[in-house]
Structure 1
C-alpha cells in the first residue's frame, strides 16, 4: 500500500472501532435509550452520506441502494445498539466482527467455495474460541446481548455481500441509510414508552452516525481501490483490537483472560481462512 492508502485505511479502521466506543459510552454513561440512539445514528448517517454524494458528483442517492440492503442495515443497527446495553466495547466488537466474517465465509461456502485443509483448521480454531467466549462463567457476556450482537454481525455480513456489484458503493450506502430511516422510526415508536434523551447521548449518536459511519465509510471506499481482497479483509482484524484498547483507555473497561484467549483464537482462526483467499484486487463495491 502507498502512504495515502495506508493513512485512509487506518482512519477507516479507527472509525469502525469508534462506532463501538460511541455506542457503548452513550448507553452506559448517558440517559439515551438504545432505540433513540439507533434512530439518531441512522438519520445523521443518512444526512452526512447524502451531503458527501451530492458534493462529490451531484447524484441523487434516492435512486441508489435497495430495500433489502436497507433491511439488513436496519437489523444490524438495531441489534448493535440493543446489544451494547449489556456488553463491554471489546466483547461487542469481537462478537460483531467474528459474526460478520463467519457469515461471509459461510455464504461463500454455500455458493461453492471449498476451503483448503488449513482453512478448515482456521474455522475450527475460531469456532472453539467463540464457544469458549460464550460458555457460562463470571466473565461470560449476557446471553441476550451476545445473541443480538451475533445477529448484528450476520446482518452486516449479508449487507456487505449485497454491496458487491451494487454500483457506486458510497451512493448505494447513502440510499440504504435513507431507506433505513422509516424502518428505524418504527422501532422508536414501539419503544416510545422507554424514550430517554439527553444532550451527551444525542451528541454521541450524531457523532456515530455522521462521522464514524458516514465519513468512515467514505474514507474506506476511498482506500479500497488500492487494496487487494486479502489485505482489505485482514486489516479489519484490527477493529476489535482498536475497540478493546479504546474501551480500556477511554472507558476504563477491564480486559479479562477469557476475552484475550478467546479473542486470539477467533481472530487467529479467521486470519487463517482469509489468508487462503486469492489475492485479487478489490473493486470499489466489493467491501463494506
Structure 2
C-alpha cells in the first residue's frame, strides 16, 4: 500500500477516535441518556452498519472476528462511556490514549521492537505530560472516572494489537461488533433501573456507532498491519489534542493551563518518536 494512503487512513482513524470522545461527552453531559444505553446503541448500530457493508460487498474474506477481541471492544466501550460522565473531553482522551500507549508499546518492546535514544526521550516527554495531568490538584480529574478510562485504554490497546494480521479489516470489525452486542445488551438489562433514553442522546450514540466507531475502526484495522505496535500506540496520542480542541470549540469546555501543557508535552513526544524512527537506528 502506498505511503500516502497509509498516512491518510491513519489520519482518518484518528479523527474518528476524537469524534467518539466528543459525541460521547456531548451525549452524557448535555442529554439525559445513560451510559449503558449509549454503549448498547453505539455497538448495535455499529454492528448493523458493518454487517450491511460486508453483505453489500459480497465476497469471501479471511477473519471474522473473535470473542476475545469482542470482549476487549466491549470493555473499552463501556468504560469509555461511564468515564465520560465525570471527565471533560480532552482530559478523558488524554487518559484513554495514555493507557493505550503504555499497553501497546510494552507489547511491542516485548515482541522485539526497539526504540532509539531520541524515541525514548520522546516517550518520556509524552508520559511526563500524562503524569502531570493526573497529579492531584484543583484541576485533577475525578479518580473513579480516571480509573474507568484507564481500563478502557488498556482494553483498546488489546483490541488494536489483536487487529494486526487478523484478516479482512471490514469483516473482522463487523464480527467483533456483532459479538460485543450481547455483552452490551446484558449490561443494559442489569442497569435497567438507571435507563434513560432521550432523542438527542440517541442521535449522538447512533453517530458514534455508525460513523466514528464502526467505519472508523474498520479504517483503523486497515492501517494497523502496516504500522509497528510502538508507532501505532504513539500516533494515537494526537487524539487528545484533537478532542480537547473540539471540546473547547463545540462543547464550551475550559482549556486549562494543565491540559494545554500536557498536550504540548505529549505532541512533542510524539514528534520525537515518529521522526526519530526514520533517522536513527534502534538501540
TM-score (norm 2): 0.87
Q: Deviations over 1:63-122 (max 9, x none)?
A: 711111011101100100011001111111111122212211011122333333222222
Query: Counterparts of 1:278 and 1:165 in 2: how far apart (Å)?
Result: 23
- The equivalent residue for 2:27 is 26
List runs of 5+ in structure 2 lacking aligned partners: none
List runs of 5+ in structure 1 lacking aligned partners: 280-288
Query: Counterparts of 2:220 and 2:116 in 1: how far apart (Å)?
Result: 30
Q: Which stretch shows the higher mean deviation, 91-100 or 133-142?
A: 91-100
Cα 1:115–1:226 change in 2 (3 A) is closer
Check conservation: 1:26, 1:205, Cα contact below 8 A: yes
Query: Counterparts of 1:119 and 1:209 in 2: how far apart (Å)?
Result: 35
Check conservation: 1:5, 1:226, Cα contact below 8 A: no
- The equivalent residue for 1:145 is 145
- The equivalent residue for 2:103 is 103
Pairwise CA distance, 1:181 = 0.7
SS of the aligned residue for 2:265 comes to helix
Matched, 1:68 2:68: yes
Cα 1:88–1:193 change in 2 (3 A) is same
Pairwise CA distance, 1:11 = 3.9
- The equivalent residue for 1:41 is 42
Q: Which stretch shows the higher mean deviation, 42-51 or 224-233?
A: 224-233
Check conservation: 1:126, 1:267, Cα contact below 8 A: yes
Cα 1:118–1:157 change in 2 (3 A) is same
Q: Which stretch shows the higher mean deviation, 162-171 or 236-245?
A: 236-245
TM-score (norm 1): 0.86
Pairwise CA distance, 1:231 = 7.8
Pairwise CA distance, 1:8 = 5.2
Q: Which stretch shows the higher mean deviation, 224-233 or 199-208?
A: 224-233
Pairwise CA distance, 1:59 = 4.9
Pairwise CA distance, 1:40 = 0.5
Query: Counterparts of 1:150 and 1:140 in 2: how far apart (Å)?
Result: 15
Cα 1:6–1:164 change in 2 (3 A) is closer
Pairwise CA distance, 1:147 = 1.2
